[in-house]
Amino acid sequence: MHGHGSDRWRRCARARRDSSLNSDRCSHPGAKRQLHRVAQRSEEREMTKADLIEQVHEAIGPGVTKRDCAAVVNAFLNAVKGAVVQGNHIEIRGFGTFKVRERRTRMARNPRTGDPVRVPQRKVPVFKPSRLLRDEVAASLEDRS
């Protein structure tokens, strides 16, 4: 395995950033897959928090500044995060439910050695979309095809 400072890794990182580069610029076997993933990500629609703030600002209109919209979005996200961290369930009708689910202890395998490894129980945050949201997503995907 090459270190992170090697030329091979630098070329690979450059190829991941610029999907127009040919995969033969990277010498490792996964280069083509990585370039394909980069191209797929750029085609997918992705919304960032800044995009969400922009949409809220456009929906409210000219009476509120973008900074105020950012404060509202941040306050909402922090309230959701705080409630989930405390173990509370948050239900937003027509949207979905945020909650904490407990995963049981299980046995897994170390991929390098094949030895069994005990994975301890843990709590994970989950989001379950409402039936209304699932139906709207399914309808919009059918419209695209």
In the chain, what are the domain boundaries?
7-43, 48-87, 89-145
Condensed to tens digits (0 to 9), the pLDDT of residues 67-119 reads 999 999 999 999 999 999 999 999 999 999 999 999 999 999 999 999 999 99
Whether pTM > 0.75 for this model: the answer is no
Helix axes 31-43, 7-17, angle to 10 degrees: 30
Distance CA 74, CA 53 (A): 9
The single residue listed with the structure tokens 């059918």 is 142
Residue pair 35/15 in contact by the 8 Å Cβ criterion? yes
**CATH value of 89-145 in 3.40.190.10, 4.10.520.10, 3.50.30.50, 3.90.1580.10:** 4.10.520.10
Backbone angles phi, psi at 55, to 5 degrees: -65, -40
Contacts of 36 (CB under 8 A, 6+ apart): none
Least confident of 15-29, 39-53, 66-80, 118-132: 15-29
